[in-house]
Amino acid sequence: MEYMERNMAGGNLTVIMEFILLGFSDLPNLQRFLFGIFLVTYMSILIGNGLIIMITKVDAGLQTPMYFFLGNFSFLEICYTSVTLPRMLSNLWTQKRNISFVACSIQLCFLLILGNSECFLLGVMAYDRYVAICKPLYYPVIMNPKMCLQLLIGSWIAGIPVQIALTYQIFSLPFCGSNELNHVFCDIPPLLKLACGDTSKNELSVYADALLFALIPFLLIVGSYVKIIATILKLPSATGRYKAFSTCSSHLIVVALFYGSGITMYLRPKSSYSARTDKVFSLFYTIVTPVFNPLIYSLRNKDVIMALRNLLTK
């Protein structure tokens, strides 16, 4: 059942019990092709990020804070993608696009929590590079194992209460009329489009949440790299400058991919909502970044390449 009618105060109130994720239903002849593309992409994410996790655990040369955070970031990417891609694959294969109200809220909640964790972890990784390059003598003292663990745990749990509250607020809205969610998964912009009445307060909450848990870490990343670049430019050796830049460039590329699409998706007015554009941007921060993460870090990092070769040789 898609709807349930209740009689309240002598009138009928239609309550949506499930949504229909339209996804790529406007491309009926490409359903199997898209399924194949997304299946290969998902397997690539699992294998690529899984290899990063493995080498950061077993390779003795990668037992440093930088690779500790990289391994956990790869694990986070797997979790983040697994919230959306398996259901997308199921919808493409079975052509059954319905998702219950509860399942939709759970998917959105985990998406927000993991996305928030990714923002914080990217910020922590930038701080790690800042300490390593700008304060190298104090690096072992500042980024000690206890501090690394505290920063990691903080990244995972810092925003959980707020994201749960935001999810509750979104799903407390009355949804009436159509239950067709013109998106590939449950996300805030398409949900607000289906909500009845004034959603300006909810939009304000979304902007505040994005500013607090996305923009502030982003500004910290920018601030860290301004100081990093200033320090690198003062290095007397061209080789030293190249090596310092190479350790930071991979992280900057991942930050640009994730934040570029995420900010475009959330920090814009509802009036500029475009379902097709939003689908593209949402695929960027949920799929493209996780699939390119292992490639970016391995192709631009000699230590990771060497560790992968050792692992494959064994």
pLDDT for res 276: 72
pLDDT for res 12: 46
CATH topology of domain 3-313: Rhopdopsin 7-helix transmembrane proteins (1.20.1070)
Could you give the 3-state DSSP secondary structure of residue 98? strand
For 96-154, how does the pLDDT look when each residue is reduced to its tens digit (9 = 90+)? 888 998 999 999 999 999 989 999 999 999 999 999 988 989 999 999 999 999 999 99
Instruction: Tally helices (H) and strands (E) across the chain.
Output: 14, 5
- Residue 305 and residue 57 in contact, taking contact as beta carbons nearer than 8 Å: no
113 vs 41, 106, 107, 110, CA distance in Å? 23, 11, 10, 5
| DSSP code for 182 | -
Strand ranges for 102-228 from DSSP E: 180-181
Q: Which residues of 158-179 are buried (b: 16+ CB within 10 A; e: fewer)?
A: bbeebbeebbeebbebebeeeb
pLDDT for res 189: 84
Kindly report the pTM of this predicted structure: 0.86
- Amino acid, res. 55: I
Which phi and psi angles does 47 have, rounded to 5°?
Answer: -70, -50
Sign of the Cα torsion 115, 119, 121, 125 reads positive
The segments of the chain whose pLDDT lies below 70 read: 1-15, 240, 263-275, 298-300, 314
